[in-house]
Structure 1
């Protein structure tokens, strides 16, 4: 029978699984973090980078850039058509699970943009010719390539071409230059890949999600990976021997048995963290009500425009937002709490704020 737990316990376990609070105390690298969480949303390069940095204390943006340049971490769009950072060796088999449904769901948008199969095939051939042999193209250079073969990249067409070719496993974002990356051929850039398919791939996907995000529900997993409920249920059933079922509010939550053991004995967190916008701690779930009150959701996504602001997290709860400003003298961070922070919380937030400034500027 599933053990009943409260919301505070779910958040305590999530902080641990996310490695926002590290239960082992072992120092983590940015590569270690991607292997733990499996995939972290990264459409904003700096915010996505800090999602890794906040979980790998002492790391720098230069550590992420080195991992990207080495092809150890890769940035692509394997889930929901959104950019993620993930271990390079995992990308191909994940696309094998998620891309067919994602591509099929893009057919209407593809027609709206006037991109038929003949145009996409032409883009594919030109892309291979331009990139093969270890070459790389920055975004603007790639758009110029599209223009040279009479494909207009304006009005989001160029981005959709990149997205489509990434979904089909032809390209990914490779070497970094500042906060930008160049496009490369996936088969040339990533030399080693795990070979998983079918039920084995569904099992691995479920296990990795619930390990890095648990406790979470079946619907959370299906939404995150953009799977049908039937496929998500199959993956969960195949991974169940390595998972623990918990119950909250009449619903089943699943977490890694190993992660439950790691977090055992740890008290509820009183720490304060400056998490980035788009962080998996909030966006990794379809139900976001446990860490965030509904009345404050509009403060996280002003104007409901899809842009999630950086978050202040205290004791597992989202209690405010923060903004960064970058000037020649460095980075400044300004908090905007939903209510008054205590003196202790203000001091604790300052530590995380300073850690972000070091990560960004070093």
Structure 2
């Protein structure tokens, strides 16, 4: 007999698995590992997402993990957006993401004003330039590696280094006019990630030089894809392969690749039915826990770009009531901070003059709402280090 789950159960289970209803994250790395990454397009949102899930919020935890311990890494990855990922998992994500080589398509090249030869030259030259900049690389005083001392290059330094490596001055125009887009292929290939900021400026470095224990080669994508799908379903499931594809690739995965990953993972999964008639896949090891989960009556304030929202389809009415969708998923990919009640979005919120302002679309019990606002206000307080 197929297990039937209500969406109220599923959403309550996700809240717990994602460390929202039970803030037990040991540190920023543990939170990022459980969530399958923390979106970092807006740094303050990433800090809040980690803080509200942490057993003991640590204002300096993310920076320390990124730039001192090197256990967390910042790079363009899922859907081409900036994320924080555990450093020891980046190679697997790169192996999976590199199965979609969008930069080799003529339509993408024309859209970004580069030729096939130019993007191929950039993909080859950036790793060479970063390798030359690495500590201990040949080049001596005045070489790119001497600029930062840590093997990281600012945007301007990397452009200069690429032109120096290729001898093609025309690439300077291509890189400066389409900067982020032209570097995203390198992040997917495991050849580029963010380095420590220098005097307020972004820097880039090579995972090979920056991350301890970086492998000689990326793992097979078959192994990596199964590993990521397993982790995704363990935090954001039950779900379908298409939901996973939308989260990871923006819905553009190669169908044969996606089918292969879920075929290999199939022995660990069980089909479940939802109360709105959907068939989803759940990790078999979590079935009993899912079945025993009672609907949540909790109230939570989540920051913008939170994984609880990002990893689910924006069309999932059980999570985001259709009338609220325009307020949650706004223009230019902006995802608003949300008020969650009973696992479902009940409204949005923002800060004005240091105070939290609520825009509710459904009744929310006052006492737990006040507690959620108080908790978020403490994290936003000047000096807390989370805002």
Q: One fold, TM greater than 0.5?
A: yes
In 2, Cα distance between equivalents of 1:105 and 1:212: 33
CA distance in 2, matches of 1:358, 1:74: 26
Please say which of residues 280-289 and 225-234 is displaced more in the overlay: 225-234
Please report how far the alpha carbon of residue 132 of structure 1 lies from its aligned counterpart in structure 2 after TM superposition.
Answer: 5.3
1:260-271 aligned within 5 A? 260-261=287-288, 265-271=292-298
Q: Name whichever of 345-354 and 254-263 sits farther off.
A: 254-263
Q: Deviations over 1:34-92 (max 9, x none)?
A: 22122232222221222222221431341111111121111222222122211111112
Q: Is the 8 A contact 2:9 2:294 kept in 1?
A: no
Q: Distance in 2 between matches of 1:36 and 1:236?
A: 20
Distance 1:241 1:271 in 2: 34
Unmatched tracts of structure 1, length 5 or more: none
Corresponding pairs, count: 355
Question: Do the aligned residues in 2 keep the contact of 1:311 with 1:322 (CA within 8 Å)?
Answer: yes
Partner residue, 1:183: 204
CA distance in 1, matches of 2:199, 2:345: 30
2:47 and 2:107 mapped to 1: Cα distance?
Answer: 32
Q: Distance in 1 between matches of 2:75 and 2:347?
A: 30
TM-score after normalising by structure 2: 0.80
Give 1:292's match in structure 2, choosing from 320, 330, 342.
320
For 2:151 and 2:380, locate their aligned partners in 1 and report how far apart those are by CA, in whole Å: 34
Q: Which residue of 2 aligns with 1:231?
A: 257
Specify every segment of 5 or more residues in structure 2 that has no aligned partner in the other structure, as ranges.
Answer: 137-149
| Pairwise CA distance, 1:218 | 2.0
What's the offset of the Cα at 1:355? 4.0
The 5 Å alignment of 1:39-54 reads: 39-54=37-52
For normalisation by structure 1, the TM-score amounts to 0.85
Q: CA 1:107–1:180 in structure 2 vs 1: closer, same or farther (change >3 Å)? A: farther
1:126 correspondence with 2:99: no
**Secondary structure class of the residue paired with 1:305:** helix
Distance 2:108 2:310 in 1: 24
User: What is the deviation of 1:30?
Assistant: 1.5
For 1:1-362, what aligned pairs fall within 5 Å after superposition?
Answer: 1-22=1-22, 26-69=24-67, 70-104=69-103, 107-116=106-115, 117-118=117-118, 119-120=121-122, 121-131=124-134, 133=136, 134-139=150-155, 142=158, 149-150=169-170, 151-152=172-173, 156-176=177-197, 181-193=202-214, 196-226=219-249, 227-248=253-274, 249-261=276-288, 265-286=292-313, 287-302=315-330, 304-324=331-351, 331-357=354-380, 361-362=384-385
CA change 1:177–1:125 in 2 (3 A) is closer
CA distance in 2, matches of 1:352, 1:179: 30
* Distance (whole Å) between structure 2 residues aligned to residue 271 and residue 283 of structure 1: 20
Question: What is the alpha-carbon distance in structure 2 between the residues aligned to residue 141 and residue 237 of structure 1?
Answer: 45
Tell me, what secondary structure is at the counterpart of 1:36? Answer: helix
Displacement after TM superposition at 1:305 (Å): 2.6
In the TM superposition, residue 207 of structure 1 has moved relative to its aligned partner by: 0.6
Larger Rg: 2
